[in-house]
Amino acid sequence: MKRFSSSKMLSFLTSDRTPHPGNIHISSLPPSIPTDQEPTHGEEDMAQGKGVETTQTQRGAPSVFPEGQNGGTDLSSTYFHHKVPIPDDDSQMWFSFRKLWAFTGPGFLMSIAYLDPGNIESDLQSGAKAGFKLLWVLLAATIIGLLLQRLAARLGVVTGMHLAEVCNRQYPTEVIGCAIAFNLLSSGRIPLWGGVLITIIDTFVFLFLDKYGLRKLEAFFGVLITIMAITFGYEYVMVRPDQGELLKGMFMPYCEGCGPVQLEQAVGIVGAVIMPHNIYLHSALVKSRQIDRSSKKELKEANKYFFIESTIALFLSFLINVFVVAVFAEAVYGRTNIEVHDICNATGILHLDLFPLNNETLQVDIYKGGVVLGCIFGPAALYIWAVGILAAGQSSTMTGTYSGQFVMEGFLNLRWSRFSRVLLTRSIAITPTLLVAIFQDVTHLTGMNDFLNVLQSMQLPFALIPILTFTSLSSLMSEFANGLFWKIGGGVVILLVCCINMYFVVIYVTSLNSVWLYVLAAFLCIAYLGFVGYLTWLCLIALGVSCLDVTCRARDDTTVLIEQQPEFDS
């Protein structure tokens, strides 16, 4: 697979600030991007398999719309063979519900990542440890997530390529929740490994739904989100939390009487909400709509409606998360183990061994949280909680499959069949989960969500730094590139989010209490921080910090190397 050298990467990043505005580094453009002039002799030679060197320059900005007009292949259709048409609306109104409905889908699929079992566990931990006091952190993290998803959608709309594809051309988890839900619903009769096996089978459901049309698949995910809203909303209504305390915790950015435990939980909320795979997923899903990328009007319209849809979807996901936080803030916050043990004993609920006879503060997770709800509010609350967790796990495993396919497709240039890609991505994801489920019980397995959140936190810079870099390049995004406000604001937000997540990683590693793990982590950190520093260096150059560009002499060369692009295997 062909890779770009560092000098070519820098040439691409700085091409929109070159002293010769008419020069185009053709080798740095994606292979499907057309130019505005008739083909030259050099281009004809290139079509015959020859790499040639030419000093030709072109005036005017190149087209950045990947759907070429010269009979070229549209690389934006690598996965979505049938795109959703957008209805014509001759009215001059700024807003159309018909068009919003046509664009509705990608945002709700993206919002599922904000409702996976990792987020649900983070929510219940927040309510159990801090009451309503950290709701403002959840609100702020969701707003930051919305702004980052806006960048991801804009990249996919304008370029016709998702983030993994752009990275490939420019740069040289949630089965646990389903298994726990099956275990709860069967009162422990279905073993944890059995739940994992069921999840392996039903993650292929989306293959059949996708075969019958993308809109049907989007409708299925809509049903899962509705189930979560109804089940967790039912728990919220049953518990009847204090609305005054809820609003105070949501809009007052202060945590009275909080200590290290609450601080760690606040960091965990940010880490659970903002996840790297979701950036790649959203930038790919927006390609499913039929948009004429040669029309600036249609691009602006698509960006507008995708942002509106994402706002609605994330508002709904935020409400569901609030339901979970409020339920455990009202029902669990401040309770002790012996208090809950006595309640469960009085109601005849099983699993009394989960609550030791001491006065220590109750610690809950997804599994134990469901049992506590059953003890306090009756068996119906336990089963309804399990149904909500099942919907969360099912939806996140399927969108995780989608994300894996897009990333594999973009970075590795693989054009496999859907079944082959699903088989590979699900095997990689589920095999270690199955092994752990066989050799661990459910009370230990739910703690894996913390480990998964740590891994996602470490991967976050590999999504946030590239998305800010590429959406800031006018040579790639044309007039849709980030302005000064988005460059500075986005950079500050991404730096803050990455620092918060790295703090979460440090907390987790130090809690392992193993010298050998500390040494291993130190060596891994050196390599990890080096690569993150490299990405940051390229990002700063793209944002205009030209003093960091040690290869600035390459910009003064008017010679353009035209290289033959490799063909893609179908």
Q: What pLDDT score was predicted for residue 358?
A: 86
Taking the C-alpha atoms of residue 234 and residue 256, their distance in angstroms, rounded to an integer, is 29
- On whether the CB atoms of residues 56 and 22 are closer than 8 A, the answer is no
| 415 half-sphere exposure, CB direction, 13 A CA radius | 10
Contacts of 241 (CB under 8 A, 6+ apart): 132, 326, 327, 329, 330
The amino acid at residue 539 is C
Residue 95 in 3-state DSSP? coil
Q: What pLDDT score was predicted for residue 311?
A: 96
Taking the C-alpha atoms of residue 64 and residue 42, their distance in angstroms, rounded to an integer, is 21
Taking the C-alpha atoms of residue 454 and residue 503, their distance in angstroms, rounded to an integer, is 10
Structure-block tokens of residue 323: 């339901």
Taking the C-alpha atoms of residue 415 and residue 434, their distance in angstroms, rounded to an integer, is 28
In the numeric block, the tokens 């082959």 are attached to 420
Structure-block tokens of residue 200: 């392996």
| 401 half-sphere exposure, CB direction, 13 A CA radius | 26
Q: What pLDDT score was predicted for residue 192?
A: 57
Nearest partner of 102 among 85, 114, 88, 115, judged by Cα: 85
- On whether the CB atoms of residues 281 and 112 are closer than 8 A, the answer is no
Residue 357 in 3-state DSSP? coil
In the numeric block, the tokens 């907390």 are attached to 507
Q: What pLDDT score was predicted for residue 66?
A: 38
Which residue spans within 11-139 are E strands per DSSP? 52-54
- On whether the CB atoms of residues 224 and 181 are closer than 8 A, the answer is no
The DSSP bridge partners found for residue 361 are 336
Q: What share of the chain is helix, strand, coil (3-state, %, to 5)?
A: 70, 0, 30
Taking the C-alpha atoms of residue 288 and residue 286, their distance in angstroms, rounded to an integer, is 5
Residue 446 in 3-state DSSP? coil
Residue 35 in 3-state DSSP? coil
CB atoms within 10 A of CB 205: 14
The amino acid at residue 221 is F
Structure-block tokens of residue 143: 């707003």
Nearest partner of 468 among 164, 148, 238, judged by Cα: 148
**206-218 burial: b if 16+ Cβ within 10 Å, else e:** beebbeeebeebb
Q: Mean pLDDT for each consecutive 10-residue tract of the chain (570 residues)?
A: 48 48 36 40 42 36 35 44 79 83 92 86 89 93 92 92 83 56 54 60 64 79 91 92 93 86 83 85 90 90 94 95 93 88 80 80 85 87 88 78 76 69 67 64 58 73 88 87 87 84 76 80 83 85 77 44 38
CB atoms within 10 A of CB 415: 12
- On whether the CB atoms of residues 180 and 445 are closer than 8 A, the answer is yes
- On whether the CB atoms of residues 282 and 156 are closer than 8 A, the answer is yes
- On whether the CB atoms of residues 82 and 213 are closer than 8 A, the answer is yes
pTM of the prediction? 0.77
The amino acid at residue 422 is V
Q: Does the CA dihedral 494-495-500-502 come out positive or negative?
A: positive
Please return the burial class of 440, using the count of CB atoms within 10 Å of its CB with bins 0-12, 13-18 and 19+. Answer: middle
Q: What pLDDT score was predicted for residue 232?
A: 92
The DSSP bridge partners found for residue 562 are 52
Taking the C-alpha atoms of residue 481 and residue 154, their distance in angstroms, rounded to an integer, is 9
Q: What pLDDT score was predicted for residue 259?
A: 83
